[in-house]
């Protein structure tokens, strides 16, 4: 039985419509696939960022726990041993030998100084106790420790000493940031002058550290293992939604500008 011309025309039109619509549906499928692929990549990136953030958080918590343990050991155990040594030396009576008495007196003086220094170090390591008195006081104690190291001309402008607001979580991270920066300066910069400015402006805490050391290639250092300290600084700042800008010039020194929403 032969098909009528009308049926043939309908089949031709249907086939033509199918062929015309195929590229359209194919385009929709490709766009949908690309969209799902893009969403998958974005989600994967977010998961990676969350994973890295959790790893860093855990790493920082372990660091804090380690430092608190060291601080406790320094304060309770080593400090106690030195105190007992002081009591033992004080119990010795040798009035007939002035030289021995002088040496014991000098030893006692050194022991007392050591006990004081260990207690101060324990306070610095035990960051949570320091930031209880405010980030301004925490920074001030860190600067006092730097003064004891000696060898640097220090220019300090710490306007956070009378700060009325606080953010304990941020305060501890800010303190660790400053400690990391100072540690890097002492280890690598070969500087003779350090300037530290800390103040609040428009609900932004600004921490500025400048030194006159040998300088370094900032972009290169970020991508090397030697830049682990820099990576740690960047991750900590990301955790508290802050910003950092580093300007370094060979033989002229480095300036670090940190902005953190506060409190």
Contact between 145 and 154 (Cβ < 8 Å)? no
Mean pLDDT within 202-217: 93
Query: 101 pLDDT exceeds 60?
Result: yes
Residues 144 and 114 in one domain: no
Report d(CA 143, CA 148) in Å as an integer.
9
Q: Considering all CA atoms of the chain, what is the largest pairwise distance in Å, rounded to the nearest integer?
A: 140
Give residue-wise pLDDT tens across range 113-165. Answer: 777 667 666 666 666 666 677 889 889 988 888 887 778 899 999 999 888 88
Residues 224 and 155 in one domain: yes
Mean pLDDT within 37-62: 66
Residues 69 and 121 in one domain: yes
Please, which pLDDT band fits residue 45 given cuts at 50, 70 and 90? confident
Report d(CA 58, CA 223) in Å as an integer.
23
Residues 143 and 118 in one domain: no
Domain boundary residue, one of 68, 90, 125 = 125
Q: Which carries the bigger pLDDT value, residue 14 or residue 179? A: 179
Residues 154 and 259 in one domain: yes
pLDDT of res. 199: 95
Residues 62 and 91 in one domain: yes
Domain boundary residue, one of 107, 125, 143 = 125
Q: Any idea what DSSP says for residue 4?
A: P
pLDDT of res. 213: 92
pLDDT of res. 43: 77
Residues 103 and 221 in one domain: no
Domain boundaries, position 225: 134-263
Give the CA-trace dihedral at 87, 90, 94, 97, to 10 degrees.
Answer: 120
Three-state SS at 228:
helix
Report d(CA 122, CA 160) in Å as an integer.
23
Mean pLDDT of the residues in the chain: 76
Please, which pLDDT band fits residue 226 given cuts at 50, 70 and 90? very low
Residues 257 and 220 in one domain: yes
User: What is the CATH classification number for the domain harbouring 213?
Assistant: 3.30.565.10
Q: Which carries the bigger pLDDT value, residue 49 or residue 255? A: 255
Domain boundary residue, one of 125, 147, 178 = 125
pLDDT of res. 259: 95
Residues 80 and 145 in one domain: no
Residues 259 and 178 in one domain: yes
Encoded tokens for 6? 């009308």
pLDDT of res. 172: 83
Residues 177 and 115 in one domain: no
Query: 207 pLDDT exceeds 90?
Result: yes
Q: Which residues contact 104 (CB under 8 A, 6 or more apart)?
A: 89, 92, 94
pLDDT of res. 93: 63
* Structural domains of the chain, count: 2
Residues 4 and 103 in one domain: yes
């Amino acid at each position: 039985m032969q098909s009528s011309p009308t049926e043939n025309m309908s089949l031709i039109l249907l086939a033509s419509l199918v062929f015309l619509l195929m590229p359209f549906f194919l385009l929709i499928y490709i766009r949908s696939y690309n969209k799902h692929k893009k969403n998958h990549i974005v989600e994967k990136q977010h998961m990676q960022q969350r994973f890295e953030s959790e790893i860093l958080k855990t790493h920082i918590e372990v660091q804090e726990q380690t430092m608190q343990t060291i601080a406790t050991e320094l304060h309770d155990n080593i400090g106690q041993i030195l105190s007992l040594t002081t009591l033992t030396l004080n119990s010795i009576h040798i009035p007939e030998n002035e030289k021995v008495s002088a040496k014991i007196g000098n030893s006692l003086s050194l022991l007392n100084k050591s006990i004081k220094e260990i207690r101060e170090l324990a306070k610095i390591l035990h960051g949570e106790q320091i930031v209880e008195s405010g980030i301004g006081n925490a920074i001030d104690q860190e600067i006092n420790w730097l003064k004891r190291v000696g060898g640097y001309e220090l220019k300090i402008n710490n306007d956070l000493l009378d700060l009325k607001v606080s953010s304990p979580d941020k305060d501890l991270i800010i303190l660790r940031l400053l400690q990391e920066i100072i540690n890097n300066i002492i280890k690598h910069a070969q500087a003779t002058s350090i300037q530290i400015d800390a103040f609040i402006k428009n609900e932004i805490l600004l921490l500025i550290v400048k030194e006159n050391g040998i300088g370094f290639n900032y972009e290169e250092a970020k991508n090397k293992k030697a830049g682990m300290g820099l990576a740690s600084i960047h991750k900590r700042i990301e955790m508290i939604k802050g910003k950092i800008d580093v300007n370094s010039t060979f033989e002229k020194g480095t300036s670090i500008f940190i902005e953190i929403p506060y409190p």
